[in-house]
Amino acid sequence: MHKQSFIIEANSFHNLPISGDFSFNNTNKNLIIFCHGFKGFKDWGCWNLVSNYFCQRGFNFLKFNFSHNGTTVSNPSEITDFNAFRNNNYSIELQDLSRVINYVKSSKSILNHNNLYLIGHSRGGGIACLATQNHPEITKLVTWAGVANFEERFPSKKSFLFGKIK
């Protein structure tokens, strides 16, 4: 098993770089892209163990930090960029996942794969679900405690009118 890090550079004023890594075996032809949850990052908790588990069972495993999750390229395992964290939103995370998918399909990636799978945890599960609509090359989708309804996470119009938030 091999492990390699990568950085997807920012490509516009609103984008920040995306740091990630992939564990791979040259004989594996299935690629899992893992999306972490809110207040998470690619190396949080058991995610390295999960990566090793899948790689040992015939999958290449890519995990990345969403660009605005509060980590930085120089400090990928600690939330220190509070401005980026404050400005994060679902649209940015969906765009980040598209950037990662486009990266693995490009000539910049060393990963050769036949099937592309997404696994998302918590909010990352919701983002993974949304991404499948724009990426028909995704073969399978798995969510672990994925967000089921984004609308529930926003205060209602009524609560703003009466000065209360649910």
β-sheet with 30-35: strand ranges across: 2-8, 18-24, 59-64, 30-35, 115-121, 138-144
Helix (H, G, I), strand (E, B) or coil at 92: helix
- Residue-wise pLDDT tens digits, 30-80: 999 999 998 888 989 899 999 999 999 999 999 999 999 999 999 988 999
Question: Residue 88, Cα to own-chain centre: how many angstroms?
Answer: 13
Q: What is the CATH number of domain 2-161?
A: 3.40.50.1820
Domain ranges of the chain: 2-161
Query: What pLDDT does 51 receive?
Result: 95
Q: What is the pLDDT of residue 159?
A: 58
Q: What DSSP string describes 104-163?
A: HHSTT-----SEEEEEEETHHHHHHHHHTTT-TTEEEEEEES--S-SGGGS--HHHHHTT
